[in-house]
Amino acid sequence: MVQQPDHADLSGQIADTWRDPYFHSSPHCNDTIRAVYAHDDSWIPADQTPFWNDVQGEPFTFIQYPSALKTVLYTNGINTLEQENPYSALLVSLHYSSFMNKQVEAENSFLRHEEARQHRLKHELGIRNEEQQALLYYQFDFLQFCDNLSLYLCLNKPGTSKEEEHPFFREGFKNSEHFAFTSHQKIHAVWPSPNRVVVRPFPFTNSFEILLKTKEVSQDLIRSKGLIPAYSQTAFTAFPVQIAGE
């Protein structure tokens, strides 16, 4: 089990090593990196007390989590971030909105609320012309790439083959072809050995190492104690993974 804020911290470490000089010289660069680090702070209260999905026979994942609860978490998280950094909050609002389903009532209500927030924040931040809009959506793609590479590490087993990867990533990272400095190629990852992930084309300044922080919670302990006590009694473990080019 991986806590969402720990996953987001990995996303932030990925953001810190991004090599594109356009990004580092652009307005709101630091606000964007802050958004990457903070994008799952919404989950902090929920991740302290995970709860059980009776249908699946396992703890709820962020994908299965009930929409009515998840959208409340998201709204509260964006509200909090907006008090600190409105530009970061705008990026996180766009991020959450990108995977909502209009056919689900709670998610459609969330979308309407966030579209109004996005319109207001763009006006307050002076984002009006095409160049400013293009920068915002480049930084949005950047946030999503950092999120997806971190999710790649969290959702796959170390050393997994391409055929066994989570389906999110088998065809490369969504929208990663938007980055001009990688010649508009879609970025792919492979995990050839437990402690090394290869990313190509390589979008970072150099190879770097992250620590993947997890809890391996015993199913026997869950059965005897319940999920929340079992989770709280289990210590975190961390193992190193190198992110490298060819």
pLDDT digits (tens, 9 = 90+) for 219-246: 999 999 999 999 999 999 999 999 999 7
Please check whether residue 149 is in contact with residue 14, taking contact to mean a CB–CB distance below 8 angstroms.
yes
Please check whether residue 242 is in contact with residue 191, taking contact to mean a CB–CB distance below 8 angstroms.
no
pLDDT, mean of residues 64-83: 96
Range of the domain at 31: 4-244
pLDDT at 80 over 90: yes
pLDDT, mean of residues 28-42: 97
- Tokens describing residue 21: 């000089």
CA–CA distances in Å: residue 29 to residues 53, 90, 118: 39, 14, 19
- pLDDT category of residue 27 using cuts at 50, 70 and 90: very high
pLDDT at 246: 78
Please tell me whether residue 211 adopts helix, strand or coil conformation. strand
Name the average pLDDT for the chain.
95
Chain centroid offset of residue 56 CA: 23
How many residues comprise the chain? 246
Radius of gyration of the chain from Cα atoms? 19
Please check whether residue 124 is in contact with residue 86, taking contact to mean a CB–CB distance below 8 angstroms.
yes
- Measure the N-to-C terminal CA separation of the chain; round to a whole number of Å: 30
pLDDT at 2 over 90: yes
pLDDT at 171: 93
pTM: 0.95
pLDDT at 149: 97
* Total of domains in the chain: 1
pLDDT at 72: 97
| Angstrom distance (rounded) from CA 42 to CA 18 | 25
- Tokens describing residue 226: 């319940």
